[in-house]
Amino acid sequence: MANTALRIYTGVVAIVCATAIAIALHAQSSAAAWQSDSRSWQALVQQTVARDKALAVASRKMAKRYNHLIVTTSRSQRKLMTALKHAQTAGAAAAVYTPQSTVYQTVPSSTGAPAPAPVSTPAPVAPPTTHTS
């Protein structure tokens, strides 16, 4: 009986050892897979951080350009409105004080036509006003 018990005990120990070896091999392959996944995730994170930094720099540059554009547009609009007001007041003053000009039409001399009559032009009209501000 001792001989059969020894055989059973040896068989059980062999099964336990084989199971332990199989579990260890599986754990090792799982660990290798996890390390591979970890490396790929770390590479993805590094790429994302680099892209995020580049995007942040580009966004700041674009915001500066946009703000500069807004400021220059605002200045230009103010200058335009001031010039338009001055032109309107100058145009209105010129329209009031400018005598009507006479325009002569040229006719070729070979036709022998009579001298053309002067054509009067209407006084310039002040441009329309815009009420924006």
pLDDT in tens, 7-28: 999 999 999 999 999 999 899 8
Beta-ladder partners of 119: 103
Separation between Cα atoms, residue 43 and residue 37, nearest integer Å: 10
Mean pLDDT of 55-81: 95
CA angle 13, 19, 25 (to 5 degrees): 135
**How many percent of the chain have pLDDT more than 90?**
47
pLDDT in tens, 92-117: 666 555 555 565 666 566 555 555 55
CA–CA distance from 11 to each of 16, 24, 73, 81, 126 (Å)? 9, 20, 91, 102, 114
